[in-house]
Amino acid sequence: MNNAPEINNSAAPSSAAAPTPAPVTVIGLGLMGQALAGAFLRAGHPTTVWNRTAAKADRLVADGAHLAPTAADALTAGPLTIICLTDYDAVRELLGASEDALDGRTLVNLTSGDSAQARETARWAGKRGARYLDGAIMAVPPAIGTADAVILHSGPAADFAAHEPALAALGTVTHLGEDHGLAALYDVAGLAMMWSVLNAWLQGTALLRTVGVDAATYAPFARQIAAGVAEWLPGYAEQIDSGSFPAEVSALETDARAMAHMVEESEAAGVNAELPKLIQAMAARAIAAGHGAEQYPVLIEEFSRPRAD
């Protein structure tokens, strides 16, 4: 079954007669909230803003935003409110103090958090009559308002569809599914990818620096390897989804011998060997469980359960 989310790359302007931009509210004007409100303004949306520290709204007000005197006023200024605060505790504190303003509103919470917090906040908001979408921003503030800003949403599809034209002003917007926790899970999965790639690069860089190869020299080589490995993902995903791991290019026990070299090189060079040893230990467990002749993605079985000590 293909559950791939639909990606709507609709940040680019359309030549068709555009509907009048809907009013939007942005609560939270940190680095990201200011970028979000700025993108709405540039796209022509009447934009109401509110921030605990009001001075952060100054530039946006100069650009045409309306500063609401209270968070409750901001929430009732229009049908759609985007919230982007430090964390979910701040969101619940803020919304809890404005509960009466929530009935009939749609909230899109782009604050980072985990899936349990997203589901719990959706339940909480629903009990107060609000429609709720959770979201995750996979971009930095300068990218907001361009197609490079990928913003993931989860929650009721009808609520996403109702506000997609406005949300599209922020970037490439995607609806992942009805489960409110999905956006947060994709966010964490993306972070796992990002940090794993960076950690692998740092490991190699640390090794090469011991012989005088600087980071800038290694970076293009590392980039080529990362891009090449990325090409393997669709085929490896098929193996994982089918539960069959034939060694088409390399067996795990072959990889494990290379892992031993990585540990030995790291230790001999006097660089940190924790990460290579962790990978080696996971492979050793899979081999001990009889998977040595299978291909690398068979390690999904190690990743899919807590380590049994």
CB of 142 to ligand FVH, least distance (A): 9
CB of 121 to ligand FVH, least distance (A): 13
Q: Does 84 bind ligand FVH (CB under 6 A)?
A: yes
Question: Is the sign of the CA dihedral 102, 88, 184, 164 positive or negative?
Answer: positive
CB of 164 to ligand FVH, least distance (A): 20
Structural contact between residues 298 and 245, judged by C-beta atoms closer than 8 angstroms: yes
Residues 25-64 that bind ligand FVH (CB under 6 A): 28-33, 51-53, 56
Dist CA 186 CA 191 (whole Å) = 9
Q: Which amino acid is at 101?
A: A
Among 26, 49, 68, 85, binds ligand FVH (CB under 6 A): 85
CB of 277 to ligand FVH, least distance (A): 31
Binding mask 121-160 for ligand FVH (x = CB under 6 A): ----------------x--xx-------------------
Q: How far is CA 7 from the centre of its chain?
A: 14
CB of 77 to ligand FVH, least distance (A): 17
Q: Max alpha carbon distance in the chain (Å)?
A: 66
Q: Does 94 bind ligand FVH (CB under 6 A)?
A: yes
Which residue in this structure is represented by tokens 């005197």?
A: 69
Dist CA 229 CA 77 (whole Å) = 49
Is the Cβ of residue 195 or residue 221 nearer to ligand FVH in the bound state? Answer: 195
Structural contact between residues 150 and 138, judged by C-beta atoms closer than 8 angstroms: yes
Structural contact between residues 20 and 185, judged by C-beta atoms closer than 8 angstroms: no
Write out the residues near ligand FVH by the rule CB under 6 A.
Answer: 28-33, 51-53, 56, 84-87, 90, 93-94, 111-112, 137, 140-141
